[in-house]
Amino acid sequence: MNKRSHSIAFWAAVAVFLVAVLSMTQIVRNEYPFFAGYVILQFIALAVAWSILGGYAGYVNFGTNAFFGVGVYTAVALFNATGAPLVVQIAAAAVVGMTLGFGVGLLTLRMRGIFFSIATIALAIIIETFVMNWRFVGGAAGIQIQRPPVTAPFDSYVKMLFFVQAVLVVIAIAIARYIQNSRIGRGLQALRDDELAAECTGVPTLRLKLIACMISGALISAAGAPAAMYLQYADPSSAFNLSYSVSALAMALIGGTAHWIGPVLGAILLGSTQQLLAVTISSEVNVLVLGIMLVLFVVGAPKGIIGLLRPRYRLRAGGKQ
Amino acid sequence: MNTAAADAPLLQVGTLTRTFGGFTALDNISVDIRKGERFGLIGPNGSGKTTLINCISGALKPQVGSVVFCGEDITQLPPHLRARRGIARSFQIPRPFRSMTVLENLMVGLDFAAAGSAAAEEEVAMSILTRMGLASKAGAASDTLSQVELRKMELARAMAVRPKLLISDEAMAGLSSSEVDEVLDLLISLGEEDITIIMIEHIMQAVMRFSERVMCLDAGKIIALGAPAEVMANKRVQEAYLGT
C-alpha cells in the first residue's frame, strides 16, 4: 500500500513538473532562463545517471565526459549524415552509450576501486583522440551546426531543448528510482558493501555491474546528445571536457548517493550556484566553488545533503553515527 | 535400505590442488561428504582449510581437480551459481552488507538465490531470524551488531540462500564459551533439518560435540579422516597441533 501511494505521489510530481516546464516555455518570452535552465537540467540528468553506477554500485566512474562526448558526436554524425530529427539523435546516442557501457564494463568492471576509475579516464582520452581525427564531424577544429526549424508548440529552439532535457531528466530519475526499489538495487547495494559476500549470497555481481554501467552510460550519452544543437557547435575538447566528469561526480556526492533525490538536489544546488556565479562574477570561479563545496561536504557531511536531512539514509549509506 | 541415489554423496571433492605461486595450499585433496552429514574440518593455521572451502564455494578455482555437487560438476561455476544450487557459507571474518539492516541482509539471499514469491520473502526472513534469536534485531543496522550477533547474522544470511550445504568458517572464533554453545546449538539444530554442514573450527570441544566425521588438514594434505575420537587420538594430528 505504502509503496503504491509513493508511486502515485512520484508520478503526480513528474506530471506537475513537466506541465510546469511546458507552460513556462509557452508563457515566458525571455530566452535566457531557458538557456541557463538547460544547463542545470543537463547536470541533473548527468548526476542521476552517474549515481546508478557510481552511487548504487560504488564504482566511481571518471569517464562521464567520454559518454557525454559520445552522445554529442553521435548526434552530430547522425545529423550531418541524414539530418535526423532530435528525438532520433537522442535515441541513437542512448544506444551507442549503452553499447559503449557494455564494452567498457566488460573490460574494466573486474577492476576495483581506483583502478576502475583510472581506466575510465583513459577511455575518455582514447575516444577524444579518435574524434579529433574524424574529419566527417569536424576533427579537432570542431563543427558548426545549423539548427533545423523549431517544431510547434515551441517558438524557439532553446525552449524546445529545455523541454527535451526536462523529459530526459524525468526518464533518468524514473529509471534510477526503479533500480533503487528493485532487486537490482538491492544487489548493487550488496556488491557495493562486499562483493565476495554478495557473490556467495547468490548475487550475479558482474552481470549487475554491467547492467548498471550500460544504463548509466545510455542516460549520460542521451543527456549529452542535444548539447550540439544547444551550442550550435561541437568540438572535441569541450564535448569531452573532464569538467563533466568532475561535476557529475561532485553533484552526486554532495547530494548523497543512497537515494535518487540526492544527485537531483546536488545538481540543483551546484548547477544554479554555478549559473549565478557565471553571471555575477566570472565563469572561472565555478571550478573554485565546486572544489570548495566538495571539500566542505566531504568533511562535514560525507553522506551528502540527504545524509543531513534523513538520518535513515545516513544509516543506509553505511555511516555509524 | 536406501536406494543408490540417496546414498550418493552430496559433495565430491576430487584430487583438488591449489597453489599460490610456489606455495601449495591444497595438495591432491579428495573427500566425499554425505547428505545430511555434520562434517568437522580442522587443522593448524595455514593448513588449507579456508582455501578448501573457497574452492567449494567458488571464491577460488583449483588448478587441478573437481568439485561435484549433487552429481553436477561445478568446478568452473562462479560463486553465485553455486549459491543458487544450494551452497552457502559464512566468513571467517564476518562480511555483513554494512549499509543494510539485518533483515535486508537476509533479503539479498532470498532475492537472488532462493526462488520464491516476493511477498512471502519478508516472512521467511523473519522466521530465519527468529530461529537464530535475532528477531529483535531485524531492523537494526548491521554495523551496530555485537560480535556474536554478527556471527549469527552471517549464518542467518547463509540460511536465506536455502542451502543444501552450509559451510561455517570459524563461526565461533572470538566468542565467549556460553556464546560458543549458543552458536553450536544452532548449527546442530540446522543439521537436524537435513542441511549438510561443514564446520571449520579451532575450538575442540565444539568440533567433538558437533561432528559425525572429522577431517584434519596439515600443509594442504589430509592427515586424518574419521570419527572425531579417532582423529583426536591420531598421533599425526596431535603432532600437527602441538608440534613435535
Q: What is the ipTM of this complex?
A: 0.90
Could you identify the residue written with the cell 553521435? A74
Averaged pLDDT of chain B: 90
B169 CA: distance to closest CA in chain A (Å) = 13
CB neighbour burial string for B19-44, b if at least 16 within 10 angstroms, e if fewer? eeeeebbbbebebebbbebbbbbbbb
Q: What string of DSSP letters covers A104-123?
A: HHHHHTTS-HHHHHHHHHHH
Report how far residue B221's alpha carbon sits from residue B43's, in angstroms, rounded to the nearest whole number.
Answer: 10
Instruction: Look at residue B117 in the predicted model and tell me its pLDDT.
Output: 63
A319 CA: distance to closest CA in chain B (Å) = 8
Instruction: Look at residue A97 in the predicted model and tell me its pLDDT.
Output: 97
Distance of CA A303 to the CA centre of its chain: 19
**Helices assigned H by DSSP within B146-227:** 147-160, 177-191, 204-210
A23-35 confidence digits (pLDDT tens):
999 999 898 999 9
Instruction: Look at residue B118 in the predicted model and tell me its pLDDT.
Output: 65
Name, in order, each residue with C-beta under 8 angstroms of B235's C-beta and a sequence gap of 6 or more: none
- Asked if the C-beta of B163 comes within 8 angstroms of chain A's C-beta atoms, the answer is no
**Mutation target vs A (from B97, B106, B144; most A CBs, 10 A cutoff):** B97
- Asked if the C-beta of B140 comes within 8 angstroms of chain A's C-beta atoms, the answer is no
Contacts A199 to B, Cβ<8 Å: 58-59, 78-80, 83
Confidence of residue A317 (pLDDT cuts 50, 70, 90): very low
Q: What string of DSSP letters covers A68-94?
A: HHHHHHHHHHHHHHH---HHHHHHHHH
A35-66 confidence digits (pLDDT tens):
999 999 999 999 999 999 999 999 999 999 99
Instruction: Look at residue B121 in the predicted model and tell me its pLDDT.
Output: 84
B:67-126 residues touching chain A, CB 8 A cutoff: 78-80, 83-84, 88-89, 91, 95-100, 104, 107-109, 111-114
Q: Which residue of B has its CA nearest to A183?
A: B111
For residues B37-54, give the mean pLDDT: 93
A269-281 confidence digits (pLDDT tens):
999 988 888 778 8
Q: Report the DSSP pairing between strands B213-218 and B221-226.
A: antiparallel
Confidence of residue B190 (pLDDT cuts 50, 70, 90): confident
**Mutation target vs B (from A109, A179, A201, A313; most B CBs, 10 A cutoff):** A201
Burial class (CB in 10 A: 0-12, 13-18, 19+), B234: middle
Instruction: Look at residue B115 in the predicted model and tell me its pLDDT.
Output: 66
Contacts B158 to A, Cβ<8 Å: 201
Top mean pLDDT of A162-171, A286-295, B127-136, B189-198 is at A162-171
Confidence of residue B194 (pLDDT cuts 50, 70, 90): confident
Among B97, B114, B160, beta carbon nearest to A197: B97
Q: Which of A239-243, B1-5, B97-101 has the lowest mean pLDDT?
A: B1-5
Q: Which residue of A has its CA nearest to B115?
A: A202
Instruction: Look at residue B2 in the predicted model and tell me its pLDDT.
Output: 46
- Asked if the C-beta of A310 comes within 8 angstroms of chain B's C-beta atoms, the answer is no
Overall size of chain A counted in residues? 321
Is the predicted pLDDT of residue B202 greater than 70, yes or no?
Answer: yes
Is the predicted pLDDT of residue A287 greater than 70, yes or no?
Answer: yes
Q: Check A200 against B104: CB less than 8 A apart.
A: no
Is the predicted pLDDT of residue A315 greater than 50, yes or no?
Answer: no
For residues B196-209, give the mean pLDDT: 91
Q: Check A183 against B111: CB less than 8 A apart.
A: yes
Is the predicted pLDDT of residue A289 greater than 90, yes or no?
Answer: no
Task: Tell whether the torsion through CA atoms of B117, A261, A259 and A222 is positive or negative.
Answer: positive
Is the predicted pLDDT of residue A71 greater than 50, yes or no?
Answer: yes
How many helices (H) and strands (E) in chain A? 16, 2
Is the predicted pLDDT of residue A311 greater than 70, yes or no?
Answer: no
Q: Which residue of A has its CA nearest to B159?
A: A201
Contacts B96 to A, Cβ<8 Å: 193-194, 197
